[in-house]
Structure 1
């Protein structure tokens, strides 16, 4: 058998719905990250099917409570134990029927065929029966009867999170939950050492890639539709990076000056590290630390592609004694570990992996890191506190507590915070605001006592 024939036979054996079911099972039942699990399954698929696999997995995780509700209505008892992966196969089938343009008969037949790939053809009749009943019920509107659904099903978010959003944003909570369900746009960060954003927009036009907007403060470019990075002019040459518009505010707000000694805490995967270096090539030095050595590989890769230099250290930001050489920093970017609740539209698994009990632990860790890094900052220096969370506990309440307990900390105004929330500190961007992710920024000056 030739190598080409073997590859063709392998591709014939791959069922995208089976891969999607395995991926969703790993995330929901085994608590694994979608960012880790999806690439593993995509490696088994033909290149033309990778996008379909991603669409199905993301969709199931976005609409998980709703899909499970639909399946429960058609099942006498839930699938458990070794049959549990077939529960997710049913969700995969229902998602296709409800939300994708795939014809119902094709969605059903391909999903049923996945039972073979999952090595249990005895489940074929059950999967076929449930999905066909779902199609008939959908056509007859039987599933659309007037029913008061729990908030977790109606809004496709866990109950604990809905309650926290309602408490923090009593007038905007529904808008926030709706924004989390949307597919995120693709934002580009232009390396200003090569082109201005306007110049690069012309290059995109030549490549027939449409631009939706250029964000006026950071000059981030929002594309009209996502595009493969290999099609972006100069990507391999370091002209461009993919980074959300909200995240691109960090380098602007840190506002490094010539000769500054800069620290980026919790730096992986290095997008903000690189952006600061692009914007400020004449700083004295950049040190990027992260507690996970494996994640620093991405930082090194990004630095190499962009031809930038930084001192990269695997270190615990909460314990400077293990890595700090005693030289204080002029600027510190603290991208604190957080709940990630501002980037759910990009990472829908956050809704199901994050637990209510995690928040207090994260707040305590943030407080510890904030206090530790503050001691590394020179008097007269600036610390930019950043999270991709929308929870006040991690953001405005955290900063308020810090200021109350540090007389040398002064909160600075932030350009762009034109609509600050009442009684908040810092700049809270909500998901979908300016079509960007949910982010929080607080800029602190260490006064000279």
Structure 2
């Protein structure tokens, strides 16, 4: 694509990313990551990302336009063309890019993709969208029925708000590295750079940017002054709160944000970052090195459900289990979850979470603390999972968390002597992601 203009190149890349996500089953994160090499300019990367997110937040509306305006449905061989047309719609609504430039660049992208014979079709469809506007589609029509039903059952009074919040553009949350600078000191640096940010009560290291900016424009990002991390995820460090010098395990550590936050809070921790995927573990190393925390952690590749293969037998004082989950609390950040998640996935994830809890509990010292967390809003993965663990684990004690961690949640059909098994934040509450946290302590006489 060396000879293409930047505008045309961006549309080509956007079409290929969307084709990979919509038609080939790739995750949006992986597809965007693979495309970065084709876009050396950070502004072009930001445009591609904005186009892709806009498409995935309302694909039913765009498909309705194609169904109404195309003379015949697109076939399997035209999937890349479909992706390009959807990218064209997104530029007009909701991104509201200058219509002439957006249409011209998208038509040229059709030629660059080897579809010169369809360039006229692309021009005609996008010009019609410009003139008439895109047709309406039923709200949340692209959500799978099983997930809408599960949310309605779990959160009957909040279901509509959950769906609506999950389709909105989230703010950009920052976590200031207190080893380099205070939160207020970094906020002043942002003001000097012309970036508006606000502190939020209860987040000692957090700042919220209502208008997101490219990460590369954040002062000191490359040298570890700040990281991007949602406010709800930042509360994990508060929930675990390991003592100075504690032996800590981050059991599903990649990409390393929560391990890094723990070390930023307390550099004397003896932290082990474990992940089952060696390639993902390299991302943890990259994260820690950027933040100048690389010397503070031991990285291990291993299956957390099989401690015998990697554990040295010395018990941990604190364990963070940020468990694999349905990601239903972060759809606003990963809208492709709605494409790829299946109802059968949840049952498999629940079984894995239970195995992780049971296996890791054996590595926790008596009196030690485990924090169980997910970015899910499904009760089966959260309070019901914790309740079941407490029932089968006599030496597990649930410890309270305050309202700053989210709303208290109970479990139907499970008696825990009135104890609330965790805290749940729903998508958009306080501008944060959907997130669940429970804090468990091992009885002092436990094995």
Instruction: Give the structure-1-normalised TM-score.
Output: 0.91
Paired position in structure 1 for 2:274: 289
The answer to which of 270-279 and 14-23 deviates more is 14-23
CA deviation digits over 1:148-193, x for unaligned, max 9? x65642xx42222211111111111111111111112111112222
The answer to which of 232-241 and 302-311 deviates more is 232-241
Q: Shift of the alpha carbon at 1:216? A: 2.3
- Give the whole-Å Cα distance in 1 for the aligned partners of 2:84 and 2:219: 39
The answer to which of 77-86 and 245-254 deviates more is 77-86
Q: Shift of the alpha carbon at 1:384? A: 0.1
Which residue of the other structure, out of 408, 432, 437, is the alignment partner of 1:441? 437
- Give the whole-Å Cα distance in 2 for the aligned partners of 1:259 and 1:177: 43
CA contact (8 A) 2:407 2:425 kept: no
CA contact (8 A) 2:256 2:283 kept: yes
Which residue of the other structure, out of 264, 270, 290, is the alignment partner of 1:305? 290
Q: Shift of the alpha carbon at 1:443? A: 0.4
The answer to which of 305-314 and 70-79 deviates more is 70-79
Q: Shift of the alpha carbon at 1:91? A: 1.3
Q: How many residues align?
A: 433
Matched residue SS, 2:165 = helix
Matched residue SS, 1:381 = strand
Paired position in structure 1 for 2:417: none
Q: Shift of the alpha carbon at 1:122? A: 1.7
- Give the whole-Å Cα distance in 1 for the aligned partners of 2:23 and 2:297: 39
CA contact (8 A) 2:200 2:208 kept: yes
1:116 aligns with 2:107: no
- Give the whole-Å Cα distance in 1 for the aligned partners of 2:19 and 2:406: 43
- 1:17-32 alignment runs, 5 A limit: 17-32=11-26
Residues 362, 106 of structure 1: alpha-carbon distance in 2 compared, 3 angstrom cutoff: same
- Give the whole-Å Cα distance in 2 for the aligned partners of 1:174 and 1:71: 27
Matched residue SS, 1:393 = helix
Paired position in structure 2 for 1:77: 72
Paired position in structure 2 for 1:44: 38
CA deviation digits over 1:195-252, x for unaligned, max 9? 2212322232233322123332443111242233444333333332221111111111
Which residue of the other structure, out of 303, 307, 317, is the alignment partner of 1:316? 303
- Give the whole-Å Cα distance in 1 for the aligned partners of 2:361 and 2:103: 57
Residues 260, 82 of structure 1: alpha-carbon distance in 2 compared, 3 angstrom cutoff: same
CA contact (8 A) 1:235 1:241 kept: yes
1:419 aligns with 2:410: no
CA deviation digits over 1:331-390, x for unaligned, max 9? 000010111111111111111121221110111111111110011111111100011111
Residues 100, 234 of structure 1: alpha-carbon distance in 2 compared, 3 angstrom cutoff: closer
Paired position in structure 2 for 1:65: 60
1:278 aligns with 2:264: yes
Give the unaligned 5+ runs of structure 1.
Answer: 1-5
The answer to which of 267-276 and 68-77 deviates more is 68-77
Paired position in structure 2 for 1:3: none
Q: Shift of the alpha carbon at 1:14? A: 4.3
Paired position in structure 1 for 2:176: 190
Root-mean-square deviation over aligned CA pairs: 2.1
1:212 aligns with 2:198: yes
1:392 aligns with 2:379: yes
Paired position in structure 1 for 2:416: none
Instruction: Give the structure-2-normalised TM-score.
Output: 0.91
